[in-house]
Amino acid sequence: MSLGRVLRTGTVAVLALLWLVPTWLLVVNALVPAESYSGSPHWLPTEFGLFDNMSQAWDKANLGPAFGNSLLYSVVSALAAAVLAAGAAFATIIMPVKHRALWFWVIYSGTLLPLQVFIRPLFLSYAESSLYDTQFGLLLIYTAIAIPFAFFVMRNYALTLPKEVVEAARLDGASWWRLFWQIHVPLTRSAMVAVFVFQFVAVWNDLMFGITLTTSRNIRPVMAALADLQGNYSNVGPPVVLAGALLVSLPTLVLFFSAQRFFISSLKIHR
Binding positions for other proteins, 72-91, rule CB under 8 A = 84-85, 87-88, 90-91
CB 247 within 8 A of CB 66: no
Other beta carbons less than 10 A from residue 153's beta carbon: 25
CB 107 within 8 A of CB 89: no
106 binds other proteins, rule: CB under 8 A: yes
Residues in binding contact with other proteins, number by CB under 8 A: 99
Looking at the Cβ atoms of 51 and 113, the one nearer to other proteins is 113
Binding positions for other proteins, 108-167, rule CB under 8 A = 109-110, 112-122, 125, 140-141, 143-145, 147-148, 151, 155, 159, 167
Piece of the chain touching other proteins by CB under 8 A; list 46-54, 58-66, 100-108, 188-196: 100-108
92 binds other proteins, rule: CB under 8 A: yes
Binding positions for other proteins, 218-257, rule CB under 8 A = 223, 226-227, 230, 233, 238, 241-242, 244-246, 248-249, 252-253, 256-257
Binding positions for other proteins, 9-68, rule CB under 8 A = 9, 11-13, 15-17, 19-23, 25-26, 29, 39-41
3-state secondary structure of 38: coil
Closest to 27 (Cα-Cα) out of 4, 9, 13, 45: 45
* Region class of 237: left (phi > 0), else alpha (psi between -120 and 50), else beta: left
DSSP code at position 80? H
Q: How far is the CB of 240 from other proteins (least distance, A)?
A: 11
6 binds other proteins, rule: CB under 8 A: no
DSSP code at position 32? S
Greatest Cα pair distance, the chain, in angstroms, is 75
